[in-house]
Structure 1
Amino acid sequence: MHKIKNAAYLWAALLFLMQSAYAAGPPWKLATNGGNLSISFGLLAQPQFESLDNPSATESLENLYFRRLRFLAGGKITQKLSFFIESDSPNLGKKGFDGRRNSEIFLQDAYLNYAFLPEFQIDAGMLLLPVSHNTGQSAASLLPIDYGPYSFLASDPTRSKVGRDYGLQARGYIKKHFEYRLGLYRGNQQHSGSFPYRYMARFVWYPLDAD
């Protein structure tokens, strides 16, 4: 039997602190007087409690850990050129049945964005691929505990981290209702001449407001 329970009291305290920080804007931000050059820092922490029953053992395995612990940085280099960097430590401190605790940390997002217009922007770097609406969501905006079970199935065969890939893509919003993303991506973290590049396109029409 597999039971997953959220630590509600930790979530309540975290959400209270996040709401206070959100109302005041980014908690750590440096900017020039004109605002054309700036950098902001952020933190995403998602604590979780989990209880696992092992049929072959007499005791259950209980964990209080960080489902996600991310450090974020982003800002403007010029009025139209911006950047974003994010690390991740998924399941930080989670202990397995072998007694080992997870301590992995890696760079998850790193890209430059040049906004010619809101209707036409270019991204280059380690990008989140536009496979679906769910895969393109921020973890902070999810209503359930986690992403769908099929959202990042392509990560293993492409040896990528949670749906990310190196590449170049064009994107934009047209009249605030039509969104498009067109990209060329490396296709594999250890790319060789025999492994094809990946092409992807996604078009979405929002009848009400853009997501």
Structure 2
Amino acid sequence: MKIFHIAILLIGLTTLSPLVWAGDGTHPPKKKSGKKRGTFLLELPASLNTSPVDSVKRKPDSIEARLTTAPAEEAPFKPSIQVGAIVHMFASAEQSGFGAPSTDADSKGWNKGFSVYRARVLVGGQLSKKGSFFMETDLPSAIGTQLSSGVKNVKVAPIILDAQYEYDFANAFSLVAGMQLVSNNRNGLQGAGGLMANDFTYFQYPYNLFANSPLQGNFGRDLGVNARGFLANDKLEYRVGVFTGRNIDGGAPLRTVGRVVYNFLDPDKDYYYAGTKLGKGKTLSWGAGWDEQASYYNFSTDVFFDHPLGDAGSLTLNAAFQYMTGGTNLDSKYSFATLIPKQTVQYLELGYYFKEPKLQPWIRFENQHIDAAAEQTNGVDPSAYNKLNSSAVYGGGLNYFFNGSTTNLRLSYTARSYHVATPTEGVYDKQTYGQVWLQVQFFIF
């Protein structure tokens, strides 16, 4: 009988030991430390490589010794993959002159409609311990009513928006290759799922949106290689990249983009920045960057502050200033002189998140001041050219967060003002056009 009891005890402990070593099996896979964009590395308990039979053969002196015996080797790495989506849908009303100013009386009329503005599929994964990938699709135009034209789209083929591979050599140096978001300032590097306002700003990368834009971009993306790293206890971040930019014959010089940012409080290691953090953490950053190709160059500086303020919630401030020009050299076939006029851009977003009601009111102001040289206007008088091409955007809204950036509802009003030529030479009227959005977002990755 004693031998029978010992046998039962050994069988019970042998069966129990993998469960003790492996945990209860209910915890989700852990994120790999320091990785971005939500990619996961599945970390299997090393004890799963040890069979119950081997445990019995070792015959430790006690049960406690058996449970604390270290595994002989680590589990082999296994690639992982993650799939997500982000969708922005809205009901909207917009005056006809919002997209392009007009002296026509009908430009003050309101167009109305429903649209699926973004519908992205996100795929990312960990391919090796240091290598990961990210892909994202998007709609080249909204599904639904195009408010600027009144035309209704009911079927739109998706496009590849991001396609990139990242390899982390060290915390201080990683490389990202492929099609990726390119900008020298924070707002231009924000992710669509973490915006505070209803949408991206109008002037942060106005020449990099489409294939027919001066920099031949793809919704702010470009093809190239970008280096990134963190120094000074992760407080200092740098990004330096080389991209295709504008290329009409294969011989154009490459586009180079760089950015340096210092975080005075918490480190901020997201690859695509958040426009608001809803009180999670304490962030104060100052950044500066450049963007140049041939005769075009763009210098910028930006400040971001997100910090709990009082018991009610947290304050978010995002501001930037840019100076850009296409130069005045008309002799080179790679000149941007007549494509990008000299200008300055000012941008400010300010919001406060009330954590109990989950509400966030916000305001925004942007100003694009064109100051083109005579070589940049294609023969148009510079004073008239500058007046007609400068514009400002301002507005505000109220966000309700069902569950942070995962699901939320945004109501916003945005106004855009232009100067419009009148029949009297040298006299311009200032016209303002409005846009109202009620937008729902759902996002998971």
Q: Does 1:115 align with 2:115?
A: no
Show structure 1 runs of 5+ residues with no match: 1-24
Structure 1 match to 2:245 = 187
Question: Are 1:130 and 1:181, in contact at CA under 8 Å, matched by a contact in 2?
Answer: no
* Alpha-carbon distance in structure 1 between the residues aligned to 2:152 and 2:82: 35
Q: Which moved more, 1:132-141 or 1:50-59?
A: 50-59
Q: Which moved more, 1:102-111 or 1:120-129?
A: 102-111
Q: Does 1:41 align with 2:99?
A: no
* Alpha-carbon distance in structure 2 between the residues aligned to 1:37 and 1:148: 37
From 93, 104, 117, give the equivalent of 1:51: 93
* Alpha-carbon distance in structure 2 between the residues aligned to 1:192 and 1:147: 32
* Alpha-carbon distance in structure 2 between the residues aligned to 1:116 and 1:138: 24
Q: Which moved more, 1:55-64 or 1:152-161?
A: 55-64
* Alpha-carbon distance in structure 2 between the residues aligned to 1:109 and 1:68: 14
From 118, 135, 153, give the equivalent of 1:101: 153
Question: Are 2:77 and 2:128, in contact at CA under 8 Å, matched by a contact in 1?
Answer: no
Question: Are 1:177 and 1:205, in contact at CA under 8 Å, matched by a contact in 2?
Answer: yes
Structure 2 match to 1:204 = 261
* Alpha-carbon distance in structure 1 between the residues aligned to 2:220 and 2:184: 9
Question: Are 2:230 and 2:237, in contact at CA under 8 Å, matched by a contact in 1?
Answer: yes
Distance apart, 1:58 and its partner CA:
11
From 142, 148, 170, give the equivalent of 2:201: 148
Residues 204, 59 of structure 1: alpha-carbon distance in 2 compared, 3 angstrom cutoff = closer
Structure 1 match to 2:123 = 73
Residues 59, 192 of structure 1: alpha-carbon distance in 2 compared, 3 angstrom cutoff = closer
Q: Which moved more, 1:126-135 or 1:90-99?
A: 90-99
* RMSD over aligned Cα atoms: 3.0
The TM-score with structure 2 as length reference comes to 0.38
* Alpha-carbon distance in structure 2 between the residues aligned to 1:30 and 1:177: 25
* Alpha-carbon distance in structure 2 between the residues aligned to 1:128 and 1:74: 16
Which structure's CA Rg is the greater one?
2
Letter in 1 for 2:227: A
Moved over 3 A (4+): 29-36, 57-60
* Alpha-carbon distance in structure 2 between the residues aligned to 1:65 and 1:35: 43
The TM-score with structure 1 as length reference comes to 0.77
1:108-161 Cα offsets, whole Å, 9 max, x none, are 100100011122111110121132100111011110011111112121112211
Structure 2 match to 1:92 = 142
Letter in 2 for 1:82: S
* Alpha-carbon distance in structure 2 between the residues aligned to 1:59 and 1:207: 48
Residues 58, 113 of structure 1: alpha-carbon distance in 2 compared, 3 angstrom cutoff = closer
Identity %: 28
Show structure 2 runs of 5+ residues with no match: 1-30, 32-36, 45-75, 97-104, 269-445
In the alignment of these two chains, the number of paired residues is 187
Residues 208, 110 of structure 1: alpha-carbon distance in 2 compared, 3 angstrom cutoff = same
